[in-house]
Amino acid sequence: MFHSGSQAILVSVRESEPKSGDDFALPDSLASLRERVVSIFRSKFGTSPEAVVAAPGRVNLIGEHTDYNDGFVFPAAIDRRVVVAAAVSPDASKVWTEGSARPAVFDTNTEREAYGWARFPSGCAWTLRRDGRDIGNVNAAVVSDLPSGAGVSSSAAMELAFLTLWNHLDGLGLEPTHLAKLGQSVEHEFIGVQCGIMDQLASALGREGHAMLLDTRSLLATHVPIPKGLEIVLCDTNKRRALGVTAYNERRAECEAAAKSLGVGSLRDATMEMLDGTVPHLGAVIKRRARHVISENERCLRFAQALSDSEEGAIGTLMRASHESLRDDYEVSCPELDWMAESAWSASGCVGARMTGAGFGGACVALVKSDMVNGFLEDAEKGFKEASSGLEPRFLVCRAVAGAGVC
């Protein structure tokens, strides 16, 4: 039993072993990523790493901009990852990325300002220290096959990779949910994005062959098998996400204003009946923002049931309604995302599609019939190119995989 606002919705989902399906299989890239990162580590440090860890990105099937409103989300960890090879360092930490001219250098014992991508590993170290954990410096190399800016949480994967690394090397014994909370703290305190916890939890708690219904208030994760015969397809517009700190935090402030006006602690506790009531100082924009969050929470719960029951019609209807709400009420879509969603809706084998991620660029996610994936890819690419006057999209067929860990 899950509660959305004052309404209780019974969701009877199956938590079973994933169903195997060989209709459309892609090789897992983890082995090649591991080989690459170990090679880089050896070339930079002249020795073998003591540990290799991997953390996946995620796609969110439904439930967008609800996590920082204590709501429901429905992500799946995917087989695109950040992989880190590392060993204990006798002095300052040095972290190389593939192709970098010089390493990021920081000391886990001294809090000082870091810049660019170095804020992620250094932020993880300092956050662990502030959590009372005794950690050492590391030499590390990083590789990734996550598309940056496509809304698949490459930043959360970087955070979970380094948090998992220190958890392993220093024997901290921290549970995945605790690591996810620390990753969210990195975003808040070092990156400057007041994000919810969905991305970090998805990277930490993924399960092979499953998506997960996450209650971001209780942090309860219910894993739901992805039905046999459906594939996850990431439809990247190749328009780099331009949401940025300002627009993201603006949406969050609007939601907080809506909750205050409605007299609730968060929009998780609001209902459509409350929103449709008389609240003189609730402006039109704030009302639209609240309407998206309230309706998206309801869609997320109903999607869990539809996925569990393999109800393809309901899956498609809910995903389309989610996209339209994000476009019209929350106003975080853009022409490229709309073109991609519309192209996917009319493509062969599409069960459902919507924008995924924070918005203003990035990607859509589609659930596609396994035996029609090739036709879907051809149709969606053609439709998008025609609508966008020749922009080049990218499509990734993804598997749902396990969360962050030592590999």
Higher pLDDT, 164 or 21: 164
- The span from the first CA to the last CA of the chain, in angstroms, equals 36
| 3-class SS of residue 118 | helix
Q: What confidence score (pLDDT) does residue 262 get? A: 93
Q: State which of 141-155, 184-198, 391-405 shows the largest mean pLDDT.
A: 391-405
pLDDT at residue 127 greater than cutoff 90: yes
Residue matched to tokens 């886990």: 108
pLDDT at residue 201 greater than cutoff 70: yes
Q: Output phi, psi for 60, to 5 deg.
A: -110, 115
Q: Under a CB-based contact definition with an 8 Å cutoff, are residues 319 and 62 in contact?
A: yes
Q: Output phi, psi for 10, to 5 deg.
A: -80, 120
Q: Under a CB-based contact definition with an 8 Å cutoff, are residues 54 and 360 in contact?
A: no
Q: Considering only the top CATH level, what class is 23-65+72-220?
A: alpha beta
The pLDDT tens digits of the residues spanning 352-366 come to: 999 998 888 889 999
Q: Under a CB-based contact definition with an 8 Å cutoff, are residues 43 and 334 in contact?
A: no
pLDDT at residue 245 greater than cutoff 60: no
Mean pLDDT, range 50-66, rounded to an integer:
97
Tokens read off for 368 = 């596609």
Tokens read off for 62 = 């439904």
Q: What confidence score (pLDDT) does residue 61 get? A: 98
Confidence of residue 217 (pLDDT cuts 50, 70, 90): very high
DSSP track, 294-354 = HHHHHHHHHHHHHHHTT-HHHHHHHHHHHHHHHHHTS----HHHHHHHHHHHTSTTEEEEE
The pLDDT tens digits of the residues spanning 156-181 come to: 999 999 999 999 999 999 999 999 99
Mean pLDDT of the chain: 90
User: Which residues have CB under 8 Å from 26's CB, separation 6+?
Assistant: 79, 397, 398, 399
Query: CA 269 from chain center: how many Å?
Result: 24
DSSP track, 260-302 = HHHTSSSGGG--HHHHTS--TT--HHHHHHHHHHHHHHHHHHH
| 3-class SS of residue 362 | strand
pLDDT at residue 202 greater than cutoff 80: yes
Please tell me the distance from the alpha carbon of residue 296 to that of residue 74, in angstroms, as a whole number.
11
Residue matched to tokens 């969110």: 60
Domain limits, the chain: 23-65+72-220, 230-398
In this structure, of 27-31, 140-144, 305-309, 346-350, the range with the lowest mean pLDDT score is 27-31
In this structure, of 68-77, 108-117, 122-131, 265-274, the range with the lowest mean pLDDT score is 108-117
Q: Which amino acid is at 110?
A: T
Mean pLDDT, range 303-316, rounded to an integer:
97
Q: Which of 199, 215, 236, 269 is catalytic?
A: 199
Above pLDDT 90, what percent of the chain? 78
Higher pLDDT, 154 or 341: 341
In this structure, of 14-23, 365-374, 389-398, the range with the lowest mean pLDDT score is 14-23
Please tell me the distance from the alpha carbon of residue 198 to that of residue 177, in angstroms, as a whole number.
11
pTM above 0.75, yes or no: yes
Please tell me the distance from the alpha carbon of residue 75 to that of residue 203, in angstroms, as a whole number.
9
Q: What confidence score (pLDDT) does residue 9 get? A: 44
DSSP track, 208-244 = TTEEEEEETTTTEEEEEEPPTTEEEEEEEEEE----H
Q: What confidence score (pLDDT) does residue 209 get? A: 96
pLDDT at residue 323 greater than cutoff 60: yes
Residue matched to tokens 């993880």: 124
Higher pLDDT, 76 or 110: 76
Closest CA to 296 of 274, 265, 327: 327
DSSP track, 40-98 = HHHHHHSS--SEEEEEEEEEESS--S-GGGT-EE-EEEEEEEEEEEEEE-SSSEEEEET
Q: What confidence score (pLDDT) does residue 110 get? A: 80
Q: Considering only the top CATH level, what class is 230-398?
A: alpha beta
Confidence of residue 23 (pLDDT cuts 50, 70, 90): very low
Q: What confidence score (pLDDT) does residue 56 get? A: 97
The pLDDT tens digits of the residues spanning 254-279 come to: 999 999 999 999 999 999 999 988 66
Please tell me the distance from the alpha carbon of residue 337 to that of residue 359, in angstroms, as a whole number.
8
Tokens read off for 187 = 């975003």
Please tell me the distance from the alpha carbon of residue 238 to that of residue 342, in angstroms, as a whole number.
16
State yes or no: is 67 an active-site residue.
Answer: no
Buried b / exposed e along 63-86 (16+ C-beta atoms within 10 A): bbbbbbbbbbbbbbbbbbbbbbbb
Q: Output phi, psi for 381, to 5 deg.
A: -65, -45
In this structure, of 22-31, 109-118, 184-193, the range with the lowest mean pLDDT score is 22-31
Q: Under a CB-based contact definition with an 8 Å cutoff, are residues 146 and 199 in contact?
A: no
